[in-house]
Structure 1
């Protein structure tokens, strides 16, 4: 399959990305819709959760991505692998997450990952970063007690800001005060593979819903 080409960054505050997703039929998406669900926010080409879905067939996985061509590519890769516990959705998580979570079967959402999000280094662009208080509150409202949020970035400033946003919400408790030395997952994102391959650090943290 030819490599998919797409803009590396899109502005999530643009009007065209504010349309909310329509309600999903979870029984149509997953062979077993009542399995535990892991949502990967900003999944890009789906490299990470394609691996996860293959390794953990007793979980369902949902990748959310704001760049539509990447969603199409990821769905094609899923279909080639024949995975029935994996789905990808084109959406802006900051515009649609709460509405999406409202339709889930009760207590299925158990885990959320936000990995290597666009850093938006310029100060005037930092409001475009994915982890905003509204997104954290949506997860606080729908994750059950004991549900996990896993954060990873190769940019320490971005990792710290993500942690600050979750720490500000009383529903979440960080598991360790320092960065985690290893990933909690048996799979890696393509960005993680590239970063570690260069011998550079990855900044990781886990928050638990109280």
Structure 2
């Protein structure tokens, strides 16, 4: 099982670094936005994700809606100024950054996206009318406190690397049935828990035994 997990980690590394775009940290980006309120900041998540929470003064163009994305970037962005791009954790923003760079934009990708931004305790504009989603930290601890090992898969429905890993996760669940329990956590539905556990990128795999991460 350890060999299989190691293989999955190699896959993650390959998939998340394939695009090689220029990156800046959340802290570096925040300093730029503080000095320049008119900086071109592009959120490439879905409209629902954007409504839930986003970085102030950003515009939203969903990367998954390719035609609308390309049309929107042409009408709303200025090629003479740099564009700062982010998503939830980096997968979609890497693809969007490459697309923009290929079309002549100067692009900076905010490393780690919203997850890293929150982990750095930087401010976000949020939909305050919405109740916290997902399971609580107490419930998570109860689920991972088991005599058999618990493999926790932090993922999202839109995450390409997560989909690539899914068959291997299923294989682990079947091969080690009775010894390993697989717990899948959708980060979009568990944003509070994700922040509490310090998850700043996906996919992430944690292995627990008796409630302790091993």
| Larger gyration radius, structure 1 or structure 2 | 2
Q: Between Structure 1 and Structure 2, which shows a larger proportion of helix residues?
A: 2
TM-score, length-scaled by structure 2: 0.33
TM normalised by structure 1 equals 0.33
